[in-house]
Amino acid sequence: MGSATDLSTNHSHNDSMPVVQTWNLGKVYRTGFWMNQKIESLKNCSLSIYPGETFGLLGPNGAGKTTLLKTLLGITRPTTGRAVIFGKPIGDRTVKQKIGYLPENAYLYDFLTAWEFLEFVAGLFQIPQSQQHQRITELLDLVGLAQSTARKKKLKQYSKGMLQRVGMAQALINDPEIVFLDEPMSGLDPMGRYRMREIVLSLKQQGKTIFFNSHVLSDIEQICDRIAFLALGELICQGSLDDLLGTNDAYQAIVAGVAPETLAPWMSNLTEENNRWHGQLKVEPNRFVTHLDDVEARLVSIHLARPSLEEFFMQQLRERGIEVSR
């Protein structure tokens, strides 16, 4: 299989150096009793992430997303290829000070309170004690845990969503320039996901670079500037939503209870199915709806003609013969 289609239009990036860059990164794991079986978890992965960008890595479970993340963080070593963060090789100690990381299943110490845990992490980063109080207060406020619970309740009494927010505060304790988030929404209820999305958007406003790893397409669609698709360890394509899905802002509509000649001035490519007319709007949606009211027709649905990220993703997988279980 060839390399990923890079559809990104890098006009805005010409003057800035990538924060993260990889060249043909690959990772092979050995398994089996004699360690004689090879699993290629990552293949020829080349990508660039620019300052202040929120970059989403998408793919089904087992696609190699966490492998790529852990390789960039220096947790596992690549088998082939190379990567740099802030122009330095992965694993460089000076770079680690600038990185924040939220693992998918963060391990937090059960018997500490959120405050004690963040004090412990601040100590690892050698943040002076004089600054720790203010920093921890700000972070607990950011993640919505500012109430006294953070000082009194042990982490083992926290819900999954609350633990995820403590994990996020931990990832930001050193005021990193780039934040790596591995499935930050996993296991959260709708309220928890909304909160986490708001936190990510606030980081974006602060100009942080964010590498966001997920299989929840709606989250990626709302948050990310550019995205890359990973499947079976291989980058399929990368670019902005407009690059990948097209900038088509035309609308498709389905209408019932009206003759096609009435719709002809307002819709093109009319087709009939189950006594309903499908077609593309020639006019603004508001004008169209007003017109339908005038002729007493019924609007069944109206939506943008470009595919959703999910439709695009499924199509990419099907084209490559990759089965996706529902």
Q: Check whether residue 22 and residue 120 sit in a common domain.
A: yes
Q: Check whether residue 223 and residue 286 sit in a common domain.
A: no
CA distance 153 to 270: 62
Q: What interhelical angle do 160-172 and 190-205 show, nearest 10?
A: 10
pLDDT digits (tens, 9 = 90+) for 218-242: 888 888 999 999 988 999 989 998 8
Q: Check whether residue 109 and residue 193 sit in a common domain.
A: yes
Domain-located, residue 324: no
Domain-located, residue 320: no
pLDDT value, residue 26: 94
Q: Total structural domains in the chain?
A: 2
Q: Check whether residue 201 and residue 93 sit in a common domain.
A: yes
Domain-located, residue 268: yes
CATH number of the domain where residue 297 is located: 3.30.70
**Model confidence band, residue 135 (pLDDT cutoffs 50, 70, 90):** very high
CA nearest neighbour of 165 among 201, 125, 199, 138:
199
Q: Which structural domain, as residue segments, surrounds residue 299?
A: 251-304
Query: Is residue 1's pLDDT more than 60?
Result: no
Q: Check whether residue 90 and residue 59 sit in a common domain.
A: yes
Q: Check whether residue 81 and residue 18 sit in a common domain.
A: yes
Which residue, 245, 264, 296, sits at the end of a domain? 245
Q: Check whether residue 198 and residue 297 sit in a common domain.
A: no
pLDDT value, residue 2: 46
Q: Check whether residue 110 and residue 230 sit in a common domain.
A: yes
Give the residue-averaged pLDDT of 142-150. 81
pLDDT value, residue 33: 86
Domain-located, residue 197: yes
Query: Is residue 148's pLDDT more than 50?
Result: yes
Query: Is residue 60's pLDDT more than 50?
Result: yes
Domain-located, residue 81: yes
Q: Check whether residue 147 and residue 273 sit in a common domain.
A: no
Which residue, 197, 214, 245, sits at the end of a domain? 245
Q: Check whether residue 126 and residue 265 sit in a common domain.
A: no
CA distance 132 to 123: 9
CATH number of the domain where residue 116 is located: 3.40.50.300
Residue 281: CA count within 13 A, CB half-sphere: 23
Which residue, 230, 245, 260, sits at the end of a domain? 245
Domain-located, residue 179: yes
pLDDT value, residue 22: 96
Specify the higher pLDDT residue, 85 or 289.
85
pLDDT value, residue 129: 93
Domain-located, residue 318: no
Domain-located, residue 134: yes
Q: Check whether residue 176 and residue 298 sit in a common domain.
A: no
pLDDT digits (tens, 9 = 90+) for 151-193: 789 999 998 888 999 999 999 999 999 999 999 988 788 888 8
Q: Check whether residue 65 and residue 188 sit in a common domain.
A: yes
